[in-house]
Homo-oligomer: A and B are copies of this chain.
Amino acid sequence: MKALTVRYDGYSGTSEGPTVERLSDWCELSQIAVPKPSGSQVLVKVGLANVNPSDLHYIKGEYGQPRKKGAPAGFEGMGEIVASGEDEAARKLIGQRVAVSVSRGGSGVWAEYALTDARAVVPLHPKLRDEDAAALIVNPMTAWAMLDLVKKAGAKAFVMTAGASQLGKLMARLSKELDLAAVATVRREAHRGVLEGLGVGTVLNTEREDFEDMLVMAMRQVQPTVLLDAVADQRSADIFAAMPAGARWVIYGKLSPQSPALPSLGQMVFMKKRIEGFWLSEWMASATPDARREAFEAVQERFVSGAWKTDVAETLSLAEAGEKLGEALSGLNRGKVLIRP
């Protein structure tokens, strides 16, 4: 089969962040054997694969697990299950159309066939579009799990950075449903209208000269106590410092390679603030099967009803991705870039 395979092994020790100029610097188009499922694994004929920041972190050796040189990349996609290991539950899935998340020991979705554990696939509603299915797990489940965290924290309002991302838009829609006030940061004035249209009450442009004044005013008015942060740069640290007592800074991505200075660590003591991380893999591993099922049903319903929608900027073939992916991703937040093997 054809696959985009990883060029290097292990961790790089760098932390440049999830951007690539040319994918071909990190992955190469290879002809390799179709992987063989065993035990509870399933083999998926990939229909459409997603490209997430986590994939770029991974191929650059900056992710929470080491690279495997020569193995296909790509953590998320959709397709049809065509074979399985001997496990009964896995066998029953053959023929099903599923969303796929690649588990450890699996084989990536930037390939004609992918391998994962039966517990890491989600059988799909027949009316769900392939595009929504290919991006069903990472962003929607993160949106769902993180706003659940906001609610459980007893917060009435939250801040999200990178508000114009696909994940940001999902959280904007969900916050309205959950009656949570949202403050979103963007880097372009053009994104303001989109987010306000989705129900975000306060949009802050981090590139504007009056950002700091607007920030202080917004924090006073809206009093958000959770910061859901994809960026983790100096702006994020400044937002956290401006938030009221009891604020939690929940970092789920590291889009920026900056090492921000924390100007007010005394707030951790006297204002009971704290800084923590969110990683979907951790959430999935620790959630009960019921909680996972409920969440998957909830997100699929929203895509099928049209309440949620995956915007697609571009769809590339495996052969095109090597040269064209970098550029396709470089336009800010026009939508997801997908790969069709």
Residues facing B in A62-102 (CB within 8 A) are 62-64
Copy total for this chain: 2
Residues facing B in A152-200 (CB within 8 A) are none
Contact A279 B275 (CB under 8 A): no
Contact A277 B282 (CB under 8 A): no
- Contact check: which of B262, B272, B279 meets A269 at CB < 8 Å? B279
> Hey, which chain B residues are within 8 Å of A259, CB to CB?
261-265
* Residue in chain B with minimal CB distance to A236: B265
Contact A254 B269 (CB under 8 A): yes
A251, A252, A253, A277 pick with most chain B CB within 10 angstroms:
A277
- Contact check: which of B63, B254, B271, B277 meets A64 at CB < 8 Å? B271
Cα–Cα, bound, A17→B52 (Å): 43
Cα–Cα, bound, A278→B263 (Å): 18
**Contact A265-B232, Cβ < 8 Å, known A270-B279, A277-B270:** yes
Q: A15-B266, A254-B265 are in contact. List 7 more A-B contacts (CB 8 A).
A: A62-B266, A260-B261, A261-B262, A262-B262, A269-B279, A270-B277, A273-B277
Interface of A toward B, CB cutoff 8 Å: 15, 62-64, 232, 251-254, 259-279, 282
